[in-house]
Structure 1
Amino acid sequence: MAQQTTHLGEKIKRVREMMGVKQDALAIELGDDWNQKKVSMLEAKAEIDPALLEQVANALKVPKEVIENFDTEKVFNVFSNHNTYNDASFIVNGTNNYAANDYLDKIIELHKEKEALFERMLKEKDEMIARLERMMENK
């Protein structure tokens, strides 16, 4: 059995990837002082300040315990073993566990939120292009 990692940056990366969120999109959710490179550097850190971990969890719209207790092997087992899914075994360990069904519902909900975020980003990009075009016309 593989040893579970306590590397929080790696766990953030795995949760982010499972949710289909790119580093750029996470940076946007974290705020103006964040960018893709800063997210990459965060994911390289083994230890992360609890307040920052909470901020990242909020940006990913998951409880911080999902990140803290994330176990890749258990996630794999849930998705590869139909019996595990059917009896709603747990994906993460700890006191705040998500049953497989609840976790899958949460992933679907987060995917919808991610789509809405991308739509907002595209709209903002289009608005910015229109503003730049108007500025160029006025010169």
Structure 2
Amino acid sequence: MSTLTKSNHIGRKISRIRELRDMKQEALAQALGTNQQAISALENSETISDEKLIEVAKALGVSVEALKNFSDEAAINYFNNFYDNSAKGQILNNSCSNLTFNPLDKLIEAYDENKKLYERLVQAEKDKVEFLEKILKDK
């Protein structure tokens, strides 16, 4: 089998994406309303109808184009782009770099809210003790 045919084998691409998403054939079958044997046959197919491809892409949570154009090399390159190997594996795409709030302010707000809740709890306990003492005096 030539490498060209192998790279265009849509069933293998579906299988690979399913595996990368840590999904079993049974789970994909359930999402498509079919059985595991049908998924196995689907993954062994070199071509699949566009309608079925749309259903599979939706079940896998990817676009049809991603299914058609998938390659292991592209996936590896995609994940490698998140890491700078010279920076000892630190993530380059820092998700905290575009925050619209000051994290320290949020921490202080959480601390103040926690303090208020604690004060309410202490007051509730004081009220309970006072109520129980009143009941004991009345007896």
TM-score (norm 1): 0.53
**SS of equivalent residue, structure 2 residue 52:** helix
Q: CA deviation at 1:60?
A: 1.1
Instruction: Give the 5 Å matches for 1:12-27.
Output: 12-27=14-29
Structure 1 residue aligned with 2:47: 47
Instruction: Give the 5 Å matches for 1:52-91.
Output: 52-79=52-79, 81=80, 84-85=81-82
Structure with higher Rg: it is 2
Structure 1 residue aligned with 2:11: 9
Q: CA deviation at 1:86?
A: 5.2
Deviations 1:80-130, CA, capped at 9 Å, x for gaps: x4xx3359xxxxxxxxxxxxx7xxxxxxxxxxxxxxxxxxxxxxxxxxxxx
CA distance in 2, matches of 1:56, 1:23: 12
RMSD across aligned C-alpha pairs, in angstroms? 2.1
Amino acid at match of 2:52: L
Amino acid at match of 1:39: I
TM-score (norm 2): 0.53
Structure 1 residue aligned with 2:104: none
CA distance in 2, matches of 1:86, 1:49: 37
Amino acid at match of 1:40: S
Amino acid at match of 1:20: D
CA distance in 2, matches of 1:62, 1:77: 18
State the aligned residue count.
82
Deviations 1:39-86, CA, capped at 9 Å, x for gaps: 00100000000100001011112111111110111212333x4xx335
Identity %: 43
Structure 2 residue aligned with 1:127: none
User: Structure 1: 5+ residue runs without aligned partners?
Assistant: 88-100, 102-139
CA distance in 2, matches of 1:11, 1:35: 19
CA distance in 2, matches of 1:53, 1:74: 20
Amino acid at match of 1:85: F
